[in-house]
Amino acid sequence: MADDIRIRVRYFASLREQLGSGEEQVVPAGATAADLWAAAMRRAPSLRRTRVRFAVNAEYVDADHRLAEGDELAVFPPMSGG
């Protein structure tokens, strides 16, 4: 688990305004979607109470999903409408 992996993170809707559209990141092997979200909240503390959904490679996943080399993590804010 000491190795690092490269992933792509993409932010959508209102998250994009505060965090940008996304970026490639190097993270420790074994990092989870929640770990990446925690890092984003350190950059934008106003997001602390924002609930988000995660998708990895276009499949919805839980926050404890472990990321792998080359994954694309998409982070979505709550959606409204109907």
Q: Which domains does the chain have, with CATH numbers?
A: 4-76 (3.10.20.30)
pLDDT band at 81 (very low <50, low <70, confident <90, very high): low
The Cα 52–Cα 42 span in angstroms is 15
Q: What's the CA gap between 37 and 8, in Å, rounded?
A: 13
Q: How far is CA 22 from CA 3, 7, 66, 67, 80, in A?
A: 22, 11, 19, 16, 22
pTM of the model: 0.89
Q: Which residues, other chains included, contact 36 with Cβ-Cβ below 8 Å and sequence gap of 6+?
A: 7, 9, 25, 27, 67, 73, 75
Q: Does residue 28 have a pLDDT over 90?
A: yes
Encode pLDDT of 29-75 as tens digits: 999 999 999 999 999 999 999 999 999 999 999 999 999 999 999 99
* Residue 80: pLDDT over 70: no
CB-based contacts of 2: which residues, under 8 Å, 6+ apart? 28, 29
pLDDT of residue 19: 94
